[in-house]
Chains A and B, each alone.
Chain A
Amino acid sequence: MVRNEEYKKTGEKNKDLFTTAFKTTIPVLLGYIPLGMAFGFLLDGAGYHWIYAFIMSLFVYAGSGQFLAVALLSAGAGLTEFAIATLLLNFRHAFYGLSLLEKFSGIGKIKPYLIFALTDETYALLTTTDVPQGSSKSKFYFYIAALDHSYWIAGSVLGAVLGSVLDLNIEGMSFVLTALFVVLTIEQYFSSETRFPFIAAVGAGALSLILFSSDNMLLASIVLGTLILIGREKSMQKTQRKQNTQEYRKH
C-alpha cells in the first residue's frame, strides 16, 4: 500500500515537472511552429515529399542548417558541399557544449540525446531555467529538449503538408524567438555578478555585423566574443600576478 502511494506521488510530481517544462517551452512552441512551417513549405516547394521534412527535422534538427540544406538542394550541390557548409554553419554549437560540460556531467543515459538536441533555443532555456527544487535534473532537461524537438518536427510537417493550402498571415510571429532571447538575456543580467559578458557581446556582435555576411555573423561573433573573454581573463591574471610580486618585494 505504502509503495502504491509512493508511486502515485512520484507520478504526480512527474506531471508537475512536465507542466513546468511545458510552460517554459511555450515561447519556443510559438516560434518553432511558424519557422518549422516555413522550412516544410520551402522543402515542399523544392519538390520533395513531406516525409523528408519529417526525417530531416527528426534526425538533423537544426533550424538554419535545414534552411541551408533546402538552398543547397535547389542549387544541386554535392555531398562535400553539404558537409562543409553545414559544419561551418553549425560550428557555433560546439561553443554551447563548452559551457555545458559541468551542467551535463552526471546527467545519465539521457546525455547523448541532450547533446543531439542542443539548438540555439534549447541552449538558451537550459542555461537560464532553474530545475524545480527536489526534481530530477535529467528528467527536466529531457522534457524541455524533447518538447522543443517535437514542436520543430510538428511545425515542419505541418508546413510541408498544409503550407501551400493554408493562407495564414503569420508574418512577424517568429519575433517570439527574438523576444524570448531578450527576456532570457535580462534574466542572465539579473543573475550574473559580472557585466563584462554583455559588453563583450555588444562589441563582438557589432563588429561581426559590419565585417561578416549575415549568414556567418553568429559563428564569427561567438568566436570573437570568446577571444575577448579569454583576453580579458589573461590580462586580469597578469595584473594580479604583477600586484602579487610588487607586494612581495615591498615586504
Chain B
Amino acid sequence: MLNALQMFITIAVIALVTFTTRALPFIFFRSKEPPAMLAVIEKNLPPMILLLLVIYCLKDVQWLTAPYGIPELFTICVVAGLHFWKRNAMLSIFTGTALYMVLVQFNVFSFL
C-alpha cells in the first residue's frame, strides 16, 4: 500500500504522461506547418479509428469457446441493421444494449 504522498506523486506522474500523449501533436505542429501528408491523415483517421474502436471492444471475446462471440456479433448486426434502417442513434444504441444485457444475463446462447 502506498501512503498519501506516494499516491499523490504516482497519480501526478500518470496524469502528466497521459496529458503528454494527448498534447503531443499540438505541441509538435505548433511552430511548423504540418506536412501535406497530414491532410490525408486528418481526413481518413476518424473513420478508421472508429471502426478500430469497435474491433477493440471485441478484443476480449473468446472466439473459440462457447458461445463463440455470437452474443456480441448478433447484437452488433442488430444495432447496424437498425441504424441503416431508421438512422436514429438513440434507438439503435439502446435497443442494442438492452438486447445484449438480456442475452448475457439470461445466458440465452447457453445451448451452444
Closest to B1 in A: A47
* Contact code string B7-20 (vs A, CB < 8 Å = 1, else 0): 11111111101111
Given A90-B17, A201-B52, residue A104 in contact with residue B105 (CB < 8 A)? no
The answer to the question of A7 belonging to the interface, with a C-beta cut-off of 8 Å to chain B, is: no
Interface size on A, residues (CB 8 A): 86
Interface size on B, residues (CB 8 A): 65
**Considering the chains assembled together, what is the distance between the CA atoms of A202 and B40 in angstroms?**
19
Give the contacts of A74-130 with B (CB-CB under 8 A).
Answer: 79, 82-83, 86-87, 90-102, 104, 111, 115-116, 118, 120, 123-124, 127-128
Q: Give 21 A-B contacts (CB < 8 Å), ordered by A residue.
A: A52-B7, A56-B15, A90-B22, A102-B42, A115-B22, A127-B50, A169-B105, A172-B97, A178-B72, A179-B79, A179-B92, A179-B93, A183-B92, A197-B48, A200-B48, A201-B55, A209-B55, A226-B41, A226-B48, A230-B41, A233-B37
Report yes or no: A188 in contact with B55, Cβ–Cβ below 8 A: no
Report yes or no: B14 in contact with A115, Cβ–Cβ below 8 A: no
Report yes or no: B24 in contact with A229, Cβ–Cβ below 8 A: no
Report yes or no: A93 in contact with B22, Cβ–Cβ below 8 A: yes
The answer to the question of A147 belonging to the interface, with a C-beta cut-off of 8 Å to chain B, is: no
**Considering the chains assembled together, what is the distance between the CA atoms of A201 and B46 in angstroms?**
11
**Considering the chains assembled together, what is the distance between the CA atoms of A6 and B76 in angstroms?**
47
Q: Which stretch in A57-65, A135-143, A239-247 binds the other chain?
A: A57-65
The answer to the question of A146 belonging to the interface, with a C-beta cut-off of 8 Å to chain B, is: no
Of the residues B46, B55, B80, B105, contact of A221 by C-beta under 8 Å = B55
Report yes or no: A98 in contact with B55, Cβ–Cβ below 8 A: no
* Contact code string B45-74 (vs A, CB < 8 Å = 1, else 0): 111111111111111100000000000100
Residues of A within 8 A of B9 (CB): 79
Of the residues B13, B20, B72, B79, contact of A82 by C-beta under 8 Å = B13
Closest Cβ of chain B to A219, distance in Å, is: 10
Given A56-B11, A181-B54, residue A175 in contact with residue B18 (CB < 8 A)? no
Report yes or no: B89 in contact with A123, Cβ–Cβ below 8 A: no
Given A47-B1, A173-B97, A209-B55, residue A101 in contact with residue B46 (CB < 8 A)? no
Report yes or no: B52 in contact with A225, Cβ–Cβ below 8 A: yes
Closest to B91 in A: A183
Given A192-B47, A197-B44, A217-B59, residue A82 in contact with residue B10 (CB < 8 A)? yes
The answer to the question of B29 belonging to the interface, with a C-beta cut-off of 8 Å to chain A, is: yes
Q: Which of A52, A197, A200 has its CB near the most chain B CB atoms (within 10 A)?
A: A197
**Considering the chains assembled together, what is the distance between the CA atoms of A230 and B60 in angstroms?**
29
Residues of B within 8 A of A59 (CB): 11-12, 15
Residues of B within 8 A of A97 (CB): 22-26
Report yes or no: B48 in contact with A83, Cβ–Cβ below 8 A: no
Residues of A within 8 A of B49 (CB): 95-96, 99, 123-124, 201, 222, 225
Residues of A within 8 A of B55 (CB): 201-202, 205-206, 209, 221
Report yes or no: B103 in contact with A172, Cβ–Cβ below 8 A: yes
**Considering the chains assembled together, what is the distance between the CA atoms of A123 and B26 in angstroms?**
15
Closest Cβ of chain A to B102, distance in Å, is: 8
